[in-house]
């Protein structure tokens, strides 16, 4: 008997060849195929007489076939199959190109149903071009109805998928509905079997939305169950209680060369209060660009180290790790803590910006393991198998969405195996992001985390003036930059690519543009070129030269997005700005506006009316821009890549406030009834599979 878990390769009508092609669509089981939903529907539900047909109409007709023939045009490697269909009112020609197999399916003695788009031939005669055909007595799948069109791959057509899906749905099988019947009833949602039949073969357009609601709820409901259970399981864990040393924290803040914002103070208090508990903190620090999340992290680390414990800070890139290393050395220079930097390229330790030295990896690991290294900052290098801690009590992860559960679990495991004599304690966890995340998005994606918001900028910051610039005004902007540099300022020019690509010939490549600008535009200025293919040491040297004023204009690809802080740089050009998402544009813009001088951001683009670019020109609030970006591009793109791991349905609807709220409420209700889900075995099994397959990032 066929079930949802049956492998497609085990179905008799699916050949080994087709099974391999289905894998390219990530379709392995019957459930995968049934959950491969249509991307759109062609409406062939209206039945016409042939005499009523007109060009550019999606139409269905019925009749008998005659005059079937196939012509081979060898010089053009082309076959043309044609036939005439006749009803009581008239006749019309049908034509297929390079589909000679069609002739074998055309029976002149059977009445057929034809659906397709009516086209106008070169001779001015209407005809059907490559229509779908089915015998009239057959249940319609590709004609005479709303016809589903699926994401395809070579050798797997929508027509073939429709046939396979219809065959499966026609069987008497147990669909193993994971949503309890009382919830389906209360929300007026279809059962799984009914919803699958409706989503693939709807009779009316309004049925599509009705079925889709069930699947939207299902995926969000599972996601909320997962995050709530994760949060509940953490409450059962033990962590090291870190006293809130109010005097230490106040003294640290009083000695800062600036006054923290209220948002920084509030977030710091929330974190320090969390760490006082014997259950592990699990908090997201959600900040706007330039809102000062690193200071908040430093305050948390200070309390932890002062209590005699270790802190690990995980950064996504070597550039950002090195930036954090220098920042924390400055923050803690009066405390003489040993701070280490461990990446593929760097093995450094220091207590003060002027007192840093390179050491061997072996020595770094030794002093980390014996507890003499209080804070270690690094990339994935700090979660290698041979890295061991003495007393890890706080993990800080920068740019949460670039790391998965596996990395965090590895660090947590290292804490439990450290030699502090407390193997049951797991560390407190603080994750940070400089990509402002809308509240509902954070609730849905990071529902297991408490959230602190940094939505204020330091009071001394001037708003960055942003302008969209067309081709005719670019030279004026170049002249403006020359004047700013003459006054002692510096500038960035951001480009999308390193080298020219055949697929993107209209996009300026960084290397070629660097040569053009150096030789033709900024002939009296000092230019530097930074891109992702440079080695870490080369990037560091470039940034040091830019930071110290040896470079006037830094031309860079998107690697400048994070980890760069040059207060004297007050002008930025972003070339081909329409190629970037709003959140990324906002990240770029955040590299300027950090000093005392007025800053300017110019968005070079031929698309002067772009919705994204107009929003950048109008708004400086990162959270407002994030909301717009989420609506324009969808959550997958909003996160910056397609590695988020969440199901498409949940991702597409993650900004749906009502859906998130309802699914969360029902998830809470069901877990209050049965936290183990033993009474809901199908739901429990689905959740286990979901957790295995999804990497919450």
Quote the pLDDT of residue 638: 52
Q: Lowest mean pLDDT: which of 221-235, 253-267, 471-485?
A: 221-235
Q: Tell me: the pLDDT tens digits for 534-548? A: 887 788 788 889 988
How far, in Å, CA of 37 to CA of 58, rounded?
22
Q: Lowest mean pLDDT: which of 107-111, 136-140, 320-324, 431-435?
A: 431-435
Mean pLDDT of the chain, nearest integer: 86
Quickly state the pLDDT bin for 496 (edges 50, 70, 90).
confident
CB-based contact 322:341 (threshold 8 Å) = yes
Structure tokens at 75: 């010089």
Residue predicted with more confidence, 647 or 530: 530
Q: Tell me: the pLDDT tens digits for 110-157? A: 899 999 999 998 888 999 999 999 999 988 999 999 999 999 888 899
Quote the pLDDT of residue 336: 87
Q: Is 681 exposed, middle or buried (0-12, 13-18, 19+ CB in 10 A)?
A: exposed
Quote the pLDDT of residue 444: 66
Quote the pLDDT of residue 300: 97
Residue predicted with more confidence, 594 or 85: 85
Quote the pLDDT of residue 506: 43
How far, in Å, CA of 142 to CA of 114, rounded?
9
State the pTM of this model.
0.70
Quote the pLDDT of residue 347: 92
Q: Tell me: the pLDDT tens digits for 351-364? A: 988 889 999 999 99
Q: Which CATH class is domain 465-619?
A: alpha beta
**pLDDT exceeds 70 at position 254:** yes
How far, in Å, CA of 428 to CA of 238, rounded?
10
Quickly state the pLDDT bin for 419 (edges 50, 70, 90).
low
Mean pLDDT within 513-530: 93
Mean pLDDT within 258-283: 93
Mean pLDDT within 564-576: 88
How far, in Å, CA of 582 to CA of 629, rounded?
6
Residue predicted with more confidence, 29 or 323: 29
Structure tokens at 134: 């089915």
How far, in Å, CA of 483 to CA of 488, rounded?
9
Residue percentage of the chain with pLDDT more than 70 = 88
CB-based contact 329:352 (threshold 8 Å) = yes
Mean pLDDT within 578-601: 88
Q: Read out DSSP for 310-351?
A: EEEEE-SSHHHHHHHHHHHHHHTTTTT--EEEESSS-EEEEE
Residue predicted with more confidence, 104 or 565: 104
Q: Lowest mean pLDDT: which of 3-12, 48-57, 134-143, 226-235?
A: 226-235
Q: Tell me: the pLDDT tens digits for 472-495? A: 999 999 999 999 999 999 999 998
Quote the pLDDT of residue 655: 58
CATH of 46-144, one of 2.40.37.10, 3.40.120.10, 2.40.50.140, 3.50.50.60: 2.40.50.140
**pLDDT exceeds 70 at position 402:** no
DSSP run (H or E) holding 615: helix 611-618
CATH number 2.170.130.10 given to 246-276+292-433: no
Residue percentage of the chain with pLDDT more than 90 = 54
Is there a common fold for 246-276+292-433 and 465-619? yes
Highest mean pLDDT among 214-218, 316-320, 481-485: 481-485
For residue 209, count other CB atoms closer than 10 A to its CB.
Answer: 12
Quote the pLDDT of residue 375: 97
> 3-class DSSP state for residue 397?
strand
Mean pLDDT within 386-401: 84
Q: Is 119 exposed, middle or buried (0-12, 13-18, 19+ CB in 10 A)?
A: middle
Quote the pLDDT of residue 504: 46
DSSP state of 380: G
What is the residue extent of each domain of the chain? 1-41+158-174, 46-144, 246-276+292-433, 465-619
- Tell how strand 91-97 and strand 58-73 pair up: unpaired
How far, in Å, CA of 44 to CA of 162, rounded?
15
Helix 158-169 × helix 192-200 angle, to 10°? 150
Quickly state the pLDDT bin for 455 (edges 50, 70, 90).
confident
Quickly state the pLDDT bin for 660 (edges 50, 70, 90).
confident
Q: Lowest mean pLDDT: which of 62-66, 207-211, 454-458, 514-518?
A: 454-458
**Contacts for 414-420 with beta carbons within 8 Å, 24 or more apart?**
414/383, 414/387, 414/388, 414/389, 415/389, 417/388, 418/388, 418/389, 418/390, 418/391, 418/392, 419/369, 419/390, 419/391, 420/390, 420/391
Quickly state the pLDDT bin for 568 (edges 50, 70, 90).
very high
Quickly state the pLDDT bin for 695 (edges 50, 70, 90).
very low
Quickly state the pLDDT bin for 271 (edges 50, 70, 90).
very high
**Strand (E) positions, 44-108?**
58-73, 78-86, 91-97
**pLDDT exceeds 80 at position 636:** no
Quote the pLDDT of residue 551: 95
**pLDDT exceeds 50 at position 696:** no
**pLDDT exceeds 90 at position 309:** yes
Residue predicted with more confidence, 687 or 50: 50
């Amino acid at each position: 008997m066929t079930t949802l878990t049956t492998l497609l390769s085990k179905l008799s009508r699916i050949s080994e060849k087709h099974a391999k092609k289905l894998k390219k669509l990530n379709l392995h089981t019957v459930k995968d195929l049934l959950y491969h939903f249509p991307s759109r529907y062609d409406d062939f539900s209206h039945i016409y007489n042939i005499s009523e047909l007109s060009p550019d109409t999606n139409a269905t007709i019925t009749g008998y076939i005659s005059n079937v023939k196939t012509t081979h045009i060898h010089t053009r490697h082309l076959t043309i199959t044609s036939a005439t269909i006749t009803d009581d009112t008239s006749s019309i020609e049908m034509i297929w190109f390079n589909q000679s197999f069609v002739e074998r399916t055309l029976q002149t003695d059977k009445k057929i149903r034809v659906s397709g788009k009516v086209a106008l031939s070169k001779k001015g005669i209407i005809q059907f071009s490559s229509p779908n055909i089915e015998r009239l007595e057959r249940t319609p799948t590709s004609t005479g109805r709303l016809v589903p069109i699926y994401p395809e791959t070579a050798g797997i057509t929508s027509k073939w998928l429709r046939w396979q899906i219809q065959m499966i749905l026609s069987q008497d099988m147990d669909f193993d509905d994971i949503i309890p019947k009382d919830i389906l009833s209360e929300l007026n949602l279809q059962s799984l079997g009914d919803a699958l039949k409706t989503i693939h073969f709807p009779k009316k357009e309004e049925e599509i939305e009705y079925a889709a609601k069930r699947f939207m709820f299902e995926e969000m409901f599972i996601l909320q169950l997962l995050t709530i259970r994760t949060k509940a399981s953490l409450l059962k864990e033990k962590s090291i209680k870190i006293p809130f040393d109010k005097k230490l924290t106040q003294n640290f803040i009083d000695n800062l060369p600036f006054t923290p914002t209220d948002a920084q103070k509030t977030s710091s208090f929330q974190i320090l209060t969390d760490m006082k508990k014997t259950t592990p903190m699990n908090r997201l620090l959600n900040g706007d660009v330039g809102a000062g999340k690193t200071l908040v992290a430093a305050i948390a680390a200070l309390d932890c180290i002062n209590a005699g414990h270790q802190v690990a800070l995980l950064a996504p890139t070597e550039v950002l790790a090195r930036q954090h290393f220098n920042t924390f050395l400055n923050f803690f220079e009066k405390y003489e803590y040993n701070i280490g930097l461990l990446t593929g390229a760097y093995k450094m330790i220091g207590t003060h910006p002027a007192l840093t030295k390179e050491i061997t990896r072996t020595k770094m690991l030794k002093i980390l393991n014996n507890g003499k290294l209080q804070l270690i900052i690094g990339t994935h290098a700090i979660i290698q198998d041979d890295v061991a801690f003495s007393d890890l009590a706080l993990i800080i992860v920068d740019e949460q969405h670039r790391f998965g559960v596996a990395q965090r679990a590895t660090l947590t495991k290292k804490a439990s195996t450290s030699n502090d004599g407390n193997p049951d304690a797991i560390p407190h966890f603080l994750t940070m992001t400089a990509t402002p995340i809308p509240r509902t998005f954070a609730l849905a994606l990071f529902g297991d985390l408490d959230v602190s918001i940094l939505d204020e900028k330091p009071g001394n910051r001037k708003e960055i003036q942003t302008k969209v610039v067309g081709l005719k005004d670019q030279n004026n902007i170049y002249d403006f930059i020359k004047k700013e540099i003459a006054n002692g300022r510096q500038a960035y020019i951001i480009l999308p690519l390193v080298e020219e690509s055949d697929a993107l010939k209209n996009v300026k490549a960084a290397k070629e543009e660097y040569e053009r600008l150096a030789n033709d535009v900024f002939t009296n200025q000092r230019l530097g070129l930074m891109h992702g293919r440079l080695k870490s040491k080369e990037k560091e040297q470039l940034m040091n030269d830019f930071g110290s004023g040896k470079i006037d204009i830094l031309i860079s690809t998107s690697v400048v997005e994070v980890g760069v802080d040059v207060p004297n740089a007050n002008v930025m050009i972003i070339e081909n700005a329409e190629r970037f998402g709003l959140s990324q544009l906002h990240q770029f813009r955040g590299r300027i506006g950090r000093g005392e001088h007025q800053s300017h951001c110019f968005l070079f683009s031929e698309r002067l009316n772009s919705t994204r670019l107009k929003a950048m020109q109008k708004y400086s609030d990162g959270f407002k821009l994030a909301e717009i970006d989420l609506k324009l591009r969808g959550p997958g793109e909003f996160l910056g890549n397609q590695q988020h791991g969440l199901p498409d349905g949940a991702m597409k609807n993650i900004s749906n406030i009502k859906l998130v709220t309802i699914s969360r409420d029902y998830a809470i209700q069901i877990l209050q009834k049965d936290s183990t889900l033993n009474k809901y075995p199908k739901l429990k099994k689905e959740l286990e599979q979901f957790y295995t397959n999804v990497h919450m990032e």
